[in-house]
Every structure is written in C-alpha cells, then in structure tokens.
Structure 1
Amino acid sequence: MTSIITGDIINSRRADHTDWMPTLKSVLDQYGKEPEAWEIYRGDSFQLEAPPEEALKIVIHLKASIRQFKGLDVRMAIGIGKKDYSMMKITESNGEAFVNSGHAFNKLNKKKTLSLRSPWPEIDEQLNLSIDLALLTMNGWQTNAAHYIKTVIEHPNWTQVQLAKNLNKSQSTVSESLNRAGFEDIMRLEKKYRKLVTNQ
C-alpha cells in the first residue's frame, strides 16, 4: 500500500517560477529522490509517492511552503492504494493509488484545494469532511504564518524559544500567528488521519 500526492500550483503564471520552484523542489526532496519518488511536470504540476500515514503531513508542509509566496496556493489530492507498476519515473508508474489520486484531483477547484481517496469509503467520508473544515483556515494562511508553519514542520524538536530565535521574531509574535493559523488543531487532524490510516 502506498500513497500518491498529485498537485499543481494555483496562480503559478502570475509569479516568477524562480521564486517558488526551488522551495517546491526542496520540500519534495525531503520525502524522496527525483524522479523515482517525485517529479515536476507541465511546469507547475507534481507527483510524489510517500507512505500513506505520512501523506497528510506532507501536503500541509507543501501548502505552507507555497503559501509563503503572496498570491500563490496549491491544489493537492492524496490517493491511497496499491502500486501495480513501478518505473524509473513516478509519472510513468501506475496502480490503484495513482487512479485514486487522479480521481480526487479532478474534483478540486480554487476553494476545495485538498482531497483524499482511498480503498476505504467510510474513512474517505470522515477525513474529507474534516479536511474541508480545515481548509476554511488553511486557505487563509498569510505569508508569515505559512513560513512559520513550514519551519515548525521541518524542525519538530525546536522549542518555541528556538523557533522564535531562528525566525528572528518575538516568541509572542510567532505563537499568536500560529494560533491564528489554527496550527495546533490542524496537527490534531494530522494525528487523527495518521491513526486511521495506520490501523487499516
């Protein structure tokens, strides 16, 4: 069982790709090697293979990374299932996870920017409802909050004091920004997702 994350950058043509592309590649690189585990295609679309239990954390990480750039966002779909056909390039591989990711991706729009499809319909219904509610907050992340969230995810062992120091901000500024961004509640959803998927 694996997961395939399919995504594309919203409003990519309004921004210089030399701003956001290195960040996108850097984040994808943290989860595997190109092109076996991830690939960027058509200029602003990408596909990444990851363990199913990690997928929601990864899409939160990717969303925060892209929303650092004013006016940009990212649409993503998580497909969970079997991988029947492995190639050197992820975009040439195939199987249930790829099909599920494609189906979920085709249902996305500018407001519904994240969706999930797995072999477990009851879990899909439960998690997609939770994701839709989380998007009411996530789609409003400001650039600073997005940068803070990206940093927290990349340095999970940092204390708030270390985080503030490395961001060159006061601890209260970082804390208030993360609270407004709903970070704690969104990570509670991530833990719930991880538990549900791991128990299947």
Structure 2
Amino acid sequence: MDIKGVITGDVVNSSTIKVDWRKLLIDSIQQVANELSALSTLKIEFFRGDSFQLIVDKPEETLKIAVLLRAGLKSKTPLESKSIWDARMAIGIGEISYTSDKIVVSDGEAFHLSGWGLDEIGKRRLTIKTKWDDVNEELKVSTAFADDIITGWTGSQAQSIYPALLYQTSQKEIAAKYDKSAQNISKLLGAAKESLIRIYLERYSTLIAKKLM
C-alpha cells in the first residue's frame, strides 16, 4: 500500500500581486520547497500560474511541510508589498495509484482527497483529508485553530518560526542570523504561538504514523 501526501495549493489574492513580483513569487515557493526536501523526498509542480501541487513521500511529514511552506512564503514577502504573501493549501493523505513525470496527470486517492479539500476550503487556508475518518474527525477542530494562528503570522514571525520548526534552530542562532536580540526572537515566537503549533504538528505526525504501522 503506497500511501503518500499530496498538497494542492494556490496563492491568496494572487491577482493583486504586482506583475514585477510574479517570478519572485514562484521562485520563492520553489526555493522553500527545495529546503523542505530535508524533511521528505518531495516533488512540486506549478499550474495555472499561481497554483501548485506537491507529492510528499512521507505522509507523516506532509502537514509540517504545508505549514512551513506558508511560513516560508510569508517570510519572503517584499517589504513594499501591501499584503503578506500566503497560500491556501489542502492536504490529502491516501494511496497513489498512478504517478507520472507530470504531477497533474498522476492519480489516486491522495490526489482526490486533496482536490476535494481545496474545492471545499472556502475562507480557510488549510484543510486535511485523510483516508481515515477517525483521524479526520480529530484533526478538524485543531486544524481550524492552527490555520487561524498561521494566517495571522506577520512576516517577522514567519521568518523566525521557519528555521525553528525546520532545523530546530535556537533562538540565539535565529537572532544572530537576522541581527535581532534573542529577547526579540522569543517575543516573535511567543506571538506566533510556536509551542501550540509544535503540539499540533506532533499530534498529526503521531496519528498518521500509527496508521502506517
């Protein structure tokens, strides 16, 4: 049984992003995806300009990859931009029956779950649909809370939480990298509810890992 994660996403309010920044936007998503391959082998493909799809080999890492993709995108927003870059993402966890060199023509349960999730996402920016009803039931409420927190992240908060979650970088190291005080980084991570996001990610990972045993 080949269970993988699929993330289908699109950039929020992409029509308002300056034409000059379009290449930077796509390059930023690609760069973050390349960095996130430290968590799992993954493949990303863009379609319709501002939409993208990822296949993630490790389903238990798929949520962290989606959250960090949003954090990475927010942190790369140009300073002159009136709004922070973000993306809506629907995660599907299930079997993949057919894979092609082109992700968009691949097929299987995970693709269907992810596609349905994005169709039904509404005003939310993160949804998860897995092949297991009990997992979906548990994650429904926590995902709504986590999504609300992530949507509210500022560029500075996202910039701080990204290395903290991806590389377990210490507050002192993050402070040195961005030429800020450790106290300032601590405040940013506190405001971003880093500890709650960690609990959420760990619970998701545990639930999926148990199902894969």
TM-score of the superposed pair, with normalisation by structure 1? 0.92
Q: Deviations over 1:38-89 (max 9, x none)?
A: 1011111000011110011001101112222233221001101111011111
- 5+ long unaligned stretches in structure 2: 78-82
Distance 1:178 1:65, change over 3 A: same
Whole-angstrom CA distance in 1 between matches of 2:156 and 2:25: 15
Q: Which residue of 2 aligns with 1:79?
A: 92
Q: Which residue of 1 aligns with 2:194?
A: 183
The answer as to 2:41 corresponding to 1:46 is no
Whole-angstrom CA distance in 1 between matches of 2:170 and 2:36: 24
The answer as to 2:179 corresponding to 1:168 is yes
- Superposed, 1:24-173 pairs within 5 Å as 24-31=29-36, 37-50=43-56, 51-68=58-75, 69=77, 70-110=83-123, 112-156=124-168, 158-173=169-184
Amino acid at match of 1:7: G
Whole-angstrom CA distance in 1 between matches of 2:166 and 2:63: 14
The alignment-based identity, stated in percent, is 32
Greater CA drift, 21-30 or 91-100:
21-30
Deviation at 1:152, TM superposition (A): 2.1
Deviation at 1:31, TM superposition (A): 4.5
Mapped contact 1:3–1:78 kept (Cα < 8 A):
yes
Q: SS of the residue aligned with 1:66?
A: helix
Amino acid at match of 2:16: R
Q: SS of the residue aligned with 1:30?
A: helix
Amino acid at match of 1:9: V
Q: SS of the residue aligned with 2:71?
A: helix
Q: Which residue of 1 aligns with 2:80?
A: none
Mapped contact 2:32–2:73 kept (Cα < 8 A):
no
Moved over 6 A (4+): none
Mapped contact 1:75–1:109 kept (Cα < 8 A):
no
Deviation at 1:149, TM superposition (A): 1.5
Whole-angstrom CA distance in 1 between matches of 2:26 and 2:99: 26
